[in-house]
Amino acid sequence: MAKAVYVLGTMDTKGAELAYIGDCIRAAGAVPVLVDVGTGGPALGSPQVTRETVASYYPGGAEAILAYKDRGQAVTAMSEALRSFLLHESEAGKIAGVIGIGGTGGTAMISPAFRALPIGLPKVLVSTVASGNTTPYVGTSDFTMINSVVDVAGLNRVSRQVLGNAAHAIAGMAINTPRSAEDKPTAGLTMFGVTTPCVNQVREVLENSGWDCLVFHATGMGGQAMEKLAGSGLIQALLDLTTTEVADEVVGGVFRAGPRRFDLLAEREIPAVLSLGALDMVNFGAKETVPKPFRNRKLHVHNSQVTLMRTTPEENRAFARWMAPKLNRSRAEVVLLIPEKGVSLIDAPGQPFYDPEADAALFEEVEKLFEPSAKRRLIRLPCNINDPEFARAAVEQFKIITAHL
């Protein structure tokens, strides 16, 4: 059987809309499979996958979901079941793409399942909340959200156009998804504007050595996305040189690492070279958005939407206390590089965030708390993170710890 585009929604309320999407997908040359995830009245139409089938993937069984009288409980349970169902179908090689539709409830039900699916598998969600803050729904996934404009409640001159566009989009993705012919090992790298010279030097050398390099912007979701890909096996090794997200996590900036940052190193054998890139700064939005307690601190306007705040010695020691215990639990080889002459472009002589005292506090606390072992090493380098000698050292250590790959 050919791979299919799974069309998801609550067919007790959106049967006509899902059937219309299926017709559009079929007309575009792909194979639709209608999947009912309703928890209310009977299905309005004929799904190829019934709600009972999806619900059977719930740990408590289909009967448990269908017995819930509270809609919120039923939707939450069906969401868990849908996640397991789609993962099973994806791992079996049956899915070429997925498309879902919903209001707030449907979006909350479908989006966790989409986040669990592999990066690269085409995913489209038509939603009434797609024009707002989509971070809680998308997270570190790659699925596309399309604003429904009108409510997903019936077919009309607007909804037909929006749903039709979405259907043809997912059909095109499913039919034409590019497949890489290359079989290269993959490295994940973290970068910020102020560590770009370093990361570009490292990336160019590695690409010439046969590595496929994925660079992630260290804006909170960047580091988390890199670790998600590494956890799923799509990245074999890390060059986590820009760990600035820790500063925002500890102090309260806008590009936060998230509480599980670096935990992957204890869960999987992922070799990694790390550094302290851009830990001289906490990130905020436009200058007027900087929280009142920080407005008298040393601030640097990076652009109209990003304001940087120089970190203090005590904050830097707190970063070390946050990072070191996580690194000490690593299972694979880990090398931590300390650039003694500055951790960013603006942490250098004559630059606005040059502060050797603050840097020294960070370096000394890291070295005090870091636990060396046969697989875990700390190396101090007498250079700035963006100097060529630092990039050369990072590449050298990376090649050592990945020689077995």
Return the pLDDT at 90. Answer: 92
Return the pLDDT at 2. Answer: 61
Angstrom distance (rounded) from CA 46 to CA 33:
10
Report DSSP state, residue 130.
T
* Ordered domains of the chain (ranges, CATH): 4-176 (3.40.50.12020), 186-401 (3.40.50.12030)
The position carrying tokens 């996590």 is 249
Which segments of 211-279 does DSSP mark as H helices, in order? 221-231, 245-251, 264-267
Return the pLDDT at 176. Answer: 86
Record the pTM. 0.75
Say which amino acid occupies 349. P
Say which amino acid occupies 92. A
Tens of pLDDT, residue by residue, the chain (405 residues): 468 999 999 999 899 999 999 999 999 999 999 999 998 888 888 999 999 999 999 998 888 887 787 788 888 999 999 999 999 999 999 999 999 999 988 999 999 999 999 888 999 999 999 988 888 888 888 899 999 998 888 899 999 999 999 999 999 999 987 665 467 899 999 999 999 999 999 999 999 999 999 999 999 989 999 998 898 888 999 999 999 999 999 999 999 999 999 999 999 999 999 999 999 999 999 999 999 999 999 999 988 889 999 999 999 999 999 999 999 999 999 999 999 999 999 999 999 999 999 999 999 999 999 999 999 999 999 999 999 999 999 999 999 999 988
Output the CA angle 9-14-18, nearest 5 degrees. Answer: 65
The position carrying tokens 């960013």 is 344
Angstrom distance (rounded) from CA 281 to CA 188:
22
The 272-274 sheet, strands edge to edge = 212-217, 186-191, 237-240, 272-274, 334-339, 376-381
Report DSSP state, residue 374.
S
Return the pLDDT at 183. Answer: 73
For residues 278 and 311, is the Cβ–Cβ distance under 8 A? no
In this structure, are strands 306-310 and 281-284 parallel, antiparallel, or unpaired? Answer: antiparallel
Please enumerate in sequence order all residues whose Cβ is within 8 A of that of 93, keeping only pairs 6 or more positions apart, or say none.
Answer: 3
Return the pLDDT at 274. Answer: 98
